[in-house]
């Protein structure tokens, strides 16, 4: 029998994808330069030259090595390169055995959810949140519990998390630098969250796990991105090269189960089991080699900073209110009416394509992905002004 839940998830496309498809249609109708598509987090910054050089080197390998299966958790050299890079940056002592190569952060997070929860348990997410979390939590048979971020700073609100914890809470997912708000959780916030979790762990058979989803770790504008496992010991880290190396279509990332995590020896087999169960073993071999070669390549943050600056300066001049983004490449802006969906529909008349906040679990805001070309942003500014003028009128 066809699975009703799977049917429903496939039949309803994600709002972000729906807007992106509308944008493609509209571009075909009126010309690509006349549509201002802020919907997707698809980096416009090219992948570093080192990626191409690495691919060219790999192409010299014998076919079996180049295209063959790798071990289920990944190539030893890729896992070692990731561990070495983390050790250099965070003063840790991870080994290749702590790293499981994945098909991007989507796989990393869904594997961790499946590995760390049982049906009937609860997973806390911080709203607004990346919408796929709810889908993956549902698939694991767990319940997604939304906890609002602090509405001024968009940091995690540790007291609100404390109030949401029940005996069924298995894990909390955090995402910093944050999609969709651009907030970067401070050390102080994370320490307060760790205190809440440790207090809740008293008397429990197993601790509450923290799943730290970090595909935007490298994309920050000066803020510190603290290393979460050094603040809360029961943390697993999910990463991807989709954003940092502009490789979203290549599907490569990893899960780190730090060897400092008290239950690491049981968690890593569970992560491997989740990868096996979900069919996520053996990440693309070519791009595991790219990771081994390019693990320390810097991201081109300057391009995103330039986009952020031109966009925020103009929007603030036109009277929009937004969260000052410290990281990632999203701007979280207050809609000019209570109904964010209605606002985004109205924006379409100006060929502006933002994503309404309802998709991220909260009303009244919209998200702009400013990882697009600088010229598209500059050319869209008059439309943002006219839209604001229309509301004022
Ligand atoms: N987590 C967050 C917060 C994201 O924003 C995304 C993608 O946009 C993902 C996970 C999935 O990333 P990937 O493309 O590496 O699967």
For a ligand 1 pocket test, name from 17, 38, 106 the mutation site with the most ligand atoms within 8 angstroms of its C-beta: 106
Q: What is the mean pLDDT of residues 99-105?
A: 98
Whole-number Å distance between alpha carbons of 364 and 341: 8
> Which residue's CA is the nearest one to ligand 1's atom 8?
41
* The pLDDT value given to residue 32: 94
CB 45 within 8 A of CB 371: yes
Q: What is the mean pLDDT of residues 210-222?
A: 97
Cα distances (angstroms) measured from residue 154 to each of 171, 265, 295, 324:
20, 34, 30, 10
Q: 347 CB contacts (<8 Å, ≥6 apart)?
A: 353, 354, 366, 387
Tens digits of residue pLDDT in 65-79? 999 999 999 999 999
- Whether the per-residue pLDDT at 14 is higher than 90: the answer is no
Whole-number Å distance between alpha carbons of 239 and 107: 10
Cα distances (angstroms) measured from residue 292 to each of 9, 120, 252, 296, 298:
35, 39, 12, 9, 14
Look up residue 35 and give its two tokens.
Answer: 């549509």
Distance of CA 215 from the midpoint of ligand 1 (Å): 6
* The pLDDT value given to residue 230: 98
Distance of CA 240 from the midpoint of ligand 1 (Å): 7
Whole-number Å distance between alpha carbons of 74 and 281: 8
Nearest atom within ligand 1 for CA of residue 41: 8
* The pLDDT value given to residue 15: 86
CA 297 to chain centre: 19
Distance of CA 105 from the midpoint of ligand 1 (Å): 5
Report the DSSP beta bridge partners of residue 369: 330
Enumerate residues lining ligand 1, CB below 6 A. Answer: 41, 104-106, 109, 130, 175, 179, 213, 215, 240, 242, 248, 253
- Whether the per-residue pLDDT at 81 is higher than 80: the answer is yes
Domains defined for the chain, CATH in brackets: 4-48+299-392 (3.90.1150.10), 49-294 (3.40.640.10)
* The pLDDT value given to residue 12: 84
How many Cα neighbours within 13 Å face the side chain of 176? Answer: 26
Distance of CA 52 from the midpoint of ligand 1 (Å): 23
């Amino acid at each position: 029998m066809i699975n009703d839940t799977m049917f429903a998830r496939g039949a309803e496309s994600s709002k972000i994808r729906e807007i992106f498809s509308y944008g493609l249609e509209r571009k075909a109708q009126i010309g690509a330069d006349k549509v201002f598509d802020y919907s997707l987090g698809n980096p416009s910054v090219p992948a570093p030259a080192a990626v191409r050089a690495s691919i060219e080197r790999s192409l010299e390998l014998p076919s079996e090595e180049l295209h063959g299966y790798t071990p289920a958790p990944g190539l030893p050299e890729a896992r070692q390169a990731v561990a070495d890079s983390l050790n250099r940056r965070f003063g840790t002592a991870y080994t290749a055995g702590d790293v499981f190569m994945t098909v991007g952060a989507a796989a990393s997070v869904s594997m961790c959810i499946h590995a760390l929860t049982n049906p009937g348990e609860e997973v806390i997410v911080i709203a607004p949140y990346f919408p796929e979390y709810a889908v993956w939590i549902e698939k694991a048979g767990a319940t997604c519990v939304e906890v609002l971020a602090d509405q001024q700073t968009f940091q995690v609100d540790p007291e609100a998390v404390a109030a949401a914890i029940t005996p069924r809470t298995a894990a909390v997912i955090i995402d910093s630098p944050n999609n969709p708000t651009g907030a970067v959780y401070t050390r102080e916030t994370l320490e307060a969250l760790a205190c809440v979790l440790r207090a809740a762990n008293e008397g429990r058979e197993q601790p509450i796990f923290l799943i730290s989803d970090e595909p935007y770790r490298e994309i920050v504008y000066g803020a510190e991105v603290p290393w979460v496992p050094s603040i809360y010991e029961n943390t697993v880290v999910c990463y991807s090269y989709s954003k940092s190396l502009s490789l979203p279509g290549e599907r490569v990332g990893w899960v780190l189960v730090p060897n400092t995590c008290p239950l690491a020896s049981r968690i890593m087999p569970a992560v491997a089991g989740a990868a096996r169960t979900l069919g996520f073993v053996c990440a693309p071999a070519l791009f595991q080699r790219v990771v081994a070669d390019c693990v320390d390549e810097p991201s081109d943050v300057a391009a995103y900073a330039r986009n952020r600056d031109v966009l925020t300066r103009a929007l603030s001049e036109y009277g929009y209110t937004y969260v000052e983004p410290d990281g990632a490449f999203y701007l979280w802006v207050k809609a000019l009416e209570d109904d964010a969906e209605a606002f985004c529909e109205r924006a379409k008349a100006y060929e502006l394509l933002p994503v309404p906040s309802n998709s991220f679990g909260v009303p009244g805001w919209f998200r702009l992905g400013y990882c697009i070309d600088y010229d598209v942003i500059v050319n869209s500014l008059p439309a943002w002004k006219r839209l604001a003028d229309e509301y004022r009128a």
